[in-house]
Structure 1
C-alpha cells in the first residue's frame, strides 16, 4: 500500500459517516526532505474551515504518533477544493445545479452552459449559443463548420475530461 492509500485509510474515521468525502490527496516531496501532504475534502453542504482544522489536527497528530514518514518532516494541509478546482464526483455536480460550467470533452471540444440536471451516468447542460463577431461569422460561412449543440444537451460522465464552474461576479 502506498503512502497516498495509507493517508486515505487514516482519514476514513474523520469523514463523519461519509458526510465528508475526499476530493483529492497529494503527497509531494521525498523521504529525507520536507514532505507536503495536501488533502481536499468536501460534502454535499460544503465544509467549514473549523472542520478542516479539526481534521488536520487529529490526522497530523496520528501521523506524528505513527512516525508516518520516518524521520522526514512533513506539512499537512487539509482544505476544501476552491471554486477553480475541477469537479470530479457526481456529488459535486449535484451541488452545482443552476451554475454555469465549462466542460472539456474527451475529444478536446469545450461546451459551456448552465447545469440543468445530473443523472447517474450523465449531466444535462443548457448550452448557450456562441456569440460570434461578424468576421468570424463570415469565415465560418466559408467553411463547413461543425454545428455546436444549443439548448439542453446530455453529456455522459465518460465524455467529460474536465469540468469547472465558471466564476461570475454578476
Structure 2
C-alpha cells in the first residue's frame, strides 16, 4: 500500500474510530488473489468488546462505501484488536501493558524479559521475575533504551491476589 493511500485511509478512518471511544492502531491492505483485504486494528485502555468492534466495523464500512478511498475493486474489511503478543510501539501501549510480561530488545543488543510495573513520560519501571526461589528484581528502562518490545503470553501465571484471596473452602 502506498504511503499516500495509507495516510488517506488513516485520515478518513481515525475520526470514526475515535468517535467510538477507540484508538486506531494499525491499517493494512493486503492483496489476496484479485481481492484486497483492509485490516483495521483498534484498541482502547479498557480493551474493545465484540459490540464495539461490530459498531466500528459498520461505521467504517459505511464511510468507505461513500468514498473512493479503496478504489473501485472489491475488498474485504476486517476489524479486530491487537493480538496477544502485540508489539509495543506507542506510550499508550506500554501503559496498557502494565502488569504484563514483556520481551525487550534493548538498543545495546541485550535482551530482557520483565514485567511492566509502571510507566511515566520518560520510561518504565520493571520487575524481572525471580526463578528457582530467587526474589524478583526491580529495574528501570528509559524509552531510549528500548529498541523493540513485545508482550509475552503467560499460561501459568498465578497472581499474588489469587493466592491470598482463597476462601476457607478452597484451602481445604
Q: Distance in 1 between matches of 2:137 and 2:43?
A: 30
In 2: Cα distance, 1:99 partner to 1:70 partner: 40
Write the mapping of 1:78-157 to structure 2, written as runs, cut at 5 A.
78-128=79-129, 151-157=137-143
Q: Distance in 2 between matches of 1:21 and 1:96?
A: 15
TM-score (norm 1): 0.76
Higher alpha-carbon deviation: 155-164 or 116-125:
155-164
Aligned to 1:167: 153
Candidates 19, 22, 47, aligned match of 2:24: 22
Aligned to 2:5: 3
Instruction: Determine helix, strand or coil for the equivalent of 2:66.
Output: helix
RMSD: 2.4
Higher deviation after alignment, 32-41 or 116-125: 32-41
Structure 2 unmatched runs, 5+: 157-172
Aligned length: 151
Give CA deviations for 1:110-138 in whole Å, capped at 9, x if unaligned: 1011211101121121124677xxxxxxx
Q: Work out the CA distance in 2 between the residues paired with 1:157 and 1:45.
A: 23
> Counterpart of 1:40 in 2: which secondary structure?
strand
User: Do the aligned partners of residues 108 and 22 (structure 1) sit closer, same or farther apart at CA in structure 2, a change above 3 Å counting?
Assistant: farther
Which residue in the other structure is 2:144 paired with? 158
How has the CA–CA distance of structure 1 residues 25 and 158 changed in structure 2, closer, same or farther, with 3 Å as cutoff? Answer: farther
Q: Aligned partners of 2:89, 2:20: CA distance in 1, in Å? A: 17
Alpha-carbon offset, residue 17 of structure 1: 4.7
Distance 2:123 2:93 in 1: 13
List gaps (5 residues or longer) in structure 1: 132-149
